[in-house]
Amino acid sequence: MGLHKEIIIVDDGSTDGTRETLKEMQREDRTLKIFFHEKNLGKGAALRTGFAKVTGQIIIIQDADLEYDPQDYLKLIGPILEGKADVVFGSRFLGGPQRVFYFWHYIGNKFLTLVANMLSGLNLNDMETCYKAFRSSILRQIEFKSNRFGFEPEFTMKVAKLGCRVYQVPISYSGRTYEEGKKITWRDGLAALWQILRFRFMN
């Protein structure tokens, strides 16, 4: 499938050597669009920086830790290319291979997804997934505000209110442990619940 690819990388104030590696990559490949935050601002803020630089028609969100496999990209954009969808969620619960989840993460995810479905009218089974593909034209209709992991519920509630055609497809997942660098905690779960309520009833 002859698709033109645009790679946009946002370094959100890293301090582990990633910044230096990215600068070297940028020198070697000028087609890469790499942007640096001077301090850590959060996932949502990094995404806004990237969204502002997009020139393509379809956007795929990819976390740098590669818990999610880029081999699934064609699955994600398939419904959009076929003219069936405006937004596609890559679901970790539709049968793709996956590393076994932390039990309470699974329960928290299911609870947040249930609340989001109740308030949005959607029928998702993995609202908190990183893998979201969508038409870039949506960015002209939605202003995203969340700085941290609140982006996931904000995105979900806002595309639902916009009336976007939403699909979900199975993806693989190889989650990290906290020892391997996983950062999300129960506090992010509570924040996500607030964001669902906030963006359902406010802008």
Q: Which tens digits make up the pLDDT trace of 53-66?
A: 999 999 999 998 88
Whether 17 is covered by a domain: the verdict is no
Q: What is the C-alpha separation between 153 and 200, in angstroms, rounded?
A: 9
CA atoms of 151 and 192, how far apart (whole Å): 9
Domain count, the chain: 1
Domain containing 110 equals: 62-201
- Is 154:144 a contact under the CB 8 Å cutoff? yes
For residue 55, is it within any domain?
A: no
Residue 94, in any domain of the structure: yes
- Joined together, the tokens standing for residue 125 give 């089974």
92 in any annotated domain = yes
Ranges of residues in the chain with a pLDDT under 70 are 1-2, 100-101, 176-184
The model's pTM is: 0.89
Q: Please indicate, yes or no, if residue 50 is contained in any of the structural domains.
A: no
pLDDT at 2: 66
Confidence at residue 46, expressed as pLDDT on a 0 to 100 scale: 96
8 falls within a domain: no
**Which residues have C-beta within 8 Å of that of residue 20, sequence separation ≥ 6?**
none
Q: Is residue 181 part of a domain?
A: yes
Average pLDDT along the chain: 90
